[in-house]
Structure 1
Amino acid sequence: MKKIIILCICAFVGIFDFAFADSTLNAENIIFNAAKSGLAESLKDPDSAKFKELYIGKKRTFPADNEANESTDVLYVYGLINSKNSYGGYSGYNMFYIGILYLSDVKKAISIPSDSFIYSGQEDDSVAAEQLFRERCSK
């Protein structure tokens, strides 16, 4: 009898803990998946994309410019991406960021490809590129 009671308590605690942890992880996964798919669209071989060290940076609020007169909150996901180049070889991990519009009420994330950047370190103005990363990706 004691074993059954202990088993029930453990199961209840496990389910309770999982329910609260899952909501945070689920939102994070939704945001990361939107970032991955948004970035992959711009690659020569979208299926070859490998991501690591993904983080959600600070939220930026943009002023209202719509009929509802509501401001827009954009999250920035940043990390490292590696993908195949034109020759079929991986080019090495590069830093990236991408803006994500997260709609928490419907648990949906929309990537903003026009507000994204993959930094290979070979840009003409690397100082400006690094400044973009500091602005968008700080926590």
Structure 2
Amino acid sequence: MKVSTVFAFAALFSIGVCSFAQTEAPKLRKALVKRGQEAVLEQLKDPDSAKFRNLFSGKYDSFLCGEVNAKNSMGGYIGFKRFFAAESAGNYVRFEGDSSFDDGWSNNCRLFDPKNQFK
């Protein structure tokens, strides 16, 4: 009797956790994308021209990785460049070509997990 009660409680608890995870995950993803994109836009010369693609969460839930294309000061698009934005470090943003980009990308973004990709 006790075993079946414990099993039933465990089953209900796991259903509740799964349900919470399924409803909360999209909100967290949207918030991460919004904050990450805002941090990137602050660094661009023409933020209104920015186009993002291939966005995914990095090693940590506060890491947004992806590619951005935007216009430079001459008005031309520079081509898509990889970036990462780390919210936990005070909106720390690095772009492909920056001195510390390669290490940050390797440590936090390289392991691409398709289930974390934002579409």
Name the TM-score class by shorter chain.
Answer: 0.5 to 0.7
Q: Closer, same or farther in 2 for the Cα pair 1:27/1:89, shift >3 Å?
A: same
State the Cα distance separating 1:136 from its structure 2 match.
2.1
Structure 1 residue identity aligned to 2:76: G
Unaligned runs of 5+ in 2: 1-19, 112-119
Q: Please report the RMSD computed on the Cα atoms of aligned residues, expressed in angstroms.
A: 2.5
For residues 65-117 of structure 1, give each alpha carbon's deviation from its aligned partner in whole angstroms, at most 9, with x where no partner exists. Answer: xxxxxxxxx7211000000111111110000001024xxxxxxxxx833x220
For residues 45-79 of structure 1, give each alpha carbon's deviation from its aligned partner in whole angstroms, at most 9, with x where no partner exists. Answer: 111111000010112xxxxxxxxxxxxxx721100
For the 8 Å contact 1:76–1:100, the answer to whether it is kept is yes
Q: What is the percentage of aligned positions where both structures have the same residue? A: 27
2:95 alignment partner in structure 1? 118
Structure 2 residue identity aligned to 1:94: K
TM-score, length-normalised on structure 1? 0.58
Unaligned runs of 5+ in 1: 1-18, 60-73, 102-110
2:102 alignment partner in structure 1? 130
2:87 alignment partner in structure 1? 100
Aligned length in residues: 93
1:66 alignment partner in structure 2? none
1:44 alignment partner in structure 2? 45
Distance in 1 of aligned mates of 2:40 and 2:27: 20
Structure 2 residue identity aligned to 1:117: R
Larger proportion of strand: 1
For the 8 Å contact 1:38–1:112, the answer to whether it is kept is no
